[in-house]
Each structure stands twice: as structure tokens, then as C-alpha cells.
Amino acid sequence: MRPTTHSIALTLFGFTAGAAVVSALDQLPSIKGAADADHQAQEASPVANQPSAPGFADAVVAAAPAVVKVYAKGSVDSGPRSSRPARSEMLASTLSGAQPHRAQTRLGSGVVIASQGLIATNGHVVRDCDEIKVELVDGRMLSAELLGIDDATDLAVLRAPLPELAPIALGDPSKLRVGDVVLAIGHPYGIGQTVSLGIVSATGRSRLGLTEIEDFIQTDAAINPGNSGGALVDTAGRLVGIATAGLSESGHAEGVGFAIPSTLVMQVVESIADHGQVDRGWIGLGGRSVTHELERRFGLRASSGVLVSSLVENGPAAAAGLRAGDVITAFAGTEITDASQLRELITATPPQREVPLVVWRGSERIEVSVRAAEWIAADRRDIASAARAERE
């Protein structure tokens, strides 16, 4: 998605002194006496000595030093690369464009995620860039090296000389519940590090058309242009996600933002840091989670699992004998409950590994063995096209 240039108007509100102010000044002695009496009464009250209402300052203190501003100089076209149909009119990349005279500079955010200065950010922030710099919260500016980009998740890993800066503490996004309070920390519009407050609106969001692998945390914490690659943290300041995009008709935050869970982020960071890329398995099928409606409509024997809706010709699943209409209920011994879980298991499978599947075909329970192939761009386009045709 192309970055949008935004202008922000700051208005200073003042007042004009007049006769009413002069009249009030004449009464200052009596006003001061009343104020002193009120102050003494407040000091005597036990309520005045109670601590202030709890806030989230400790969480910010813990997490904010690990959130950096990312400057990337490169081409203007920097939207997330995806072969899936993106709702480009509604899903706004949280990437801040510079002013016209700096049109080639992208502004985003990043999070120090591991030792040796490893920083996670979004791929659309740094893709096709000639120069990348990060600015620390204390104002220091450092050059950063791009170690790799994972197009399937739109995550990128940078390395900067930050030996003295501790990485952010990690939380467990699997324990998040809808309604839990979260904080978004990033650099919206390039104005400086900013914290916004919200709740978890949903978990496991997918089929948004943003990336090939989608398992987003949805939040109403403000995620604006420039927040791309920033942190979503819990109330203890632990990282639970990396901010990626927001649903918006105006280009501004409208309370529907998306973050990549930190567990997936760490898998990508570790793989890129070690191997320069992320190796994923692929079997060439598209499917839908079995629901009561699908069970009733198609007369399925399985009440949970994944209904195979499309197959890539000559792909591993097709070669193993799977057919459209089959219901996958187990993968490598793990019971399958929905399509998102199956996708995660497939992508976590090393290429060339043989995997047993339990499949229901009508009233018949069968077992098949599928050899996972390597996830490659051409295959992703094929299966995305098949899935899109099936939906339409």
C-alpha cells in the first residue's frame, strides 16, 4: 500500500483579560483565604493521603526503551506483498510517509526483540530500501542491517549495534482474552514515541487479505501511520504482538487495528537470524473450518476439522489422493479443530517430511500420508487463486 502524507494542525487556545478578570483580582484576599481553608481540610482528610489511581506507567517504563523509530530510504511503493485479494480501500498500512521533499523516506517503528541488537519490524517498512536507520528513545541514531524479510507474515529482522540495550520482555499471546487491556507503543506520523491504550477486541483474525499467514490480534488501541512494526504489550509491559495494520476509511485510526502475535514473531526472528529465511512446509490445499452450518449443508460426518475446498493441481495433497469435499480431522496425530490450526501445523512442518492425515470422505474414515513440499511464491499464488475462486 502506498503511504499517505498527512498534515496535522496544532491549535493554541488562549484567552483575553477584561473587566471580569480585574473584578476577580479585587477579591483575591478572600479567595486565597477560602483556598487555604480547603487545602487544610484536604490534608486532614484520610482520602488525600491515599495513593493515586493505578495506571500503566510501569508497563511503559519497562517496554518503551525497546521500541525504536525506523527510517528507511527506498521506493515509495511499500505495501505488504500478498497474493491474496487485499481490501486496499479499507485496510490502511500503518506506514507513515514523509513530507513531499522526503518522499523516498518511510517512517515506521521497530522493537528490540533479542540480544545482539535484533530488531523486529514490518517488511513493508524496509522492503527495497538502500539505507535503514533506527532512532533510540534517547535520540541516538544508528545504522541497521536488514537480515531478511518474511513475505508470508510481512515481518522483517534488522540488526543494529545495540549491545547495551536490553530486549523487550516477551508475553504469551495465547493467554490473551477478549477484553484484556493492551498498550500500543510506536512512532505515529513521526512525531515521537507515543503510547495508546485499548483492549483486545478479538484474537485469531484471518482472511483479511493482508498477508499469506494471518493470525492477528485485533485491538482498539490507536494504531496510526508510523506504528508499523511497533509493540503491542500487556499491562506488565511484555510484548504480545507487532502492530501491522489498521482498518480505516479515512487513513486514521478508527479502533480496528491488527498485530502479529509475538510467538509467531519470535519464530520468524529466530529463523531469519539463523538461516536468513523462513523454511515452511506446504501441501497445496485450501479449506474451511467445519461449522454446524457446513455440517448440516453437506451432511458431514465430522463435527470439527477442515473441509477441503480447493487443491493445487499436482500439489502434495492432490498427489496423496485428497479430494475437494474431504474433511481433515487429524494432522500428524494432532486433532484438527479449525483451518487456522491446520495452516500453522502445515507451515511448521519441514519440507520433505511425510505426515499422516486422518480424513473423512462421506461416511468413510481413511488415512493418507502427505509429503510436505517447500513453501514457494508460485505455489502461494496458485492456492490463493483457487481459494479466491472457491469463495466467489
Range of the domain at 330: 281-391
Q: What is the residue-averaged pLDDT of the chain?
A: 79
Residue 8 has pLDDT above 90, yes or no: no
* Domains contained in the chain, number: 2
Q: Which of 78, 124, 187, 196 is catalytic?
A: 124
154 part of the active site: yes
Specify whether 268 is located in the same domain as 379: no
Q: In angstroms, rounded to a whole number, what is the distance separating the alpha carbons of residues 279 and 346?
A: 11
The answer as to whether 224 is a domain residue is yes
pLDDT of residue 163: 74
Q: Which of 83, 93, 109, 154 is catalytic?
A: 154
Q: In angstroms, rounded to a whole number, what is the distance separating the alpha carbons of residues 385 and 391?
A: 10
39 part of the active site: no
Q: In this predicted structure, which of 48-57, 71-80, 361-370, 373-382 has the lowest mean pLDDT?
A: 373-382
Return the bridge partners of 118, or none: 114, 159
Q: pLDDT tens for residues 16-54?
A: 233 333 333 344 344 345 445 555 554 554 544 555 556
The cell for 382 is 496458485
Specify whether 118 is located in the same domain as 200: yes
The answer as to whether 69 is a domain residue is yes
Portion of the chain with pLDDT greater than 70, in percent = 73
Residue 199 has pLDDT above 50, yes or no: yes
Specify whether 181 is located in the same domain as 96: yes
Q: pLDDT tens for residues 65-90?
A: 999 999 999 755 444 444 333 333 33
Closest by Cα among 21, 187, 162, 170 to 107: 187
pLDDT of residue 162: 80
The answer as to whether 48 is a domain residue is no
Specify whether 249 is located in the same domain as 355: no
124 part of the active site: yes
Specify whether 308 is located in the same domain as 255: no
The answer as to whether 296 is a domain residue is yes
Q: Which of 47-61, 103-117, 167-181, 368-382 has the highest mean pLDDT?
A: 167-181
Q: Which of 228, 248, 262, 310 is catalytic?
A: 228
Specify whether 228 is located in the same domain as 312: no
Q: In angstroms, rounded to a whole number, what is the distance separating the alpha carbons of residues 89 and 177?
A: 30
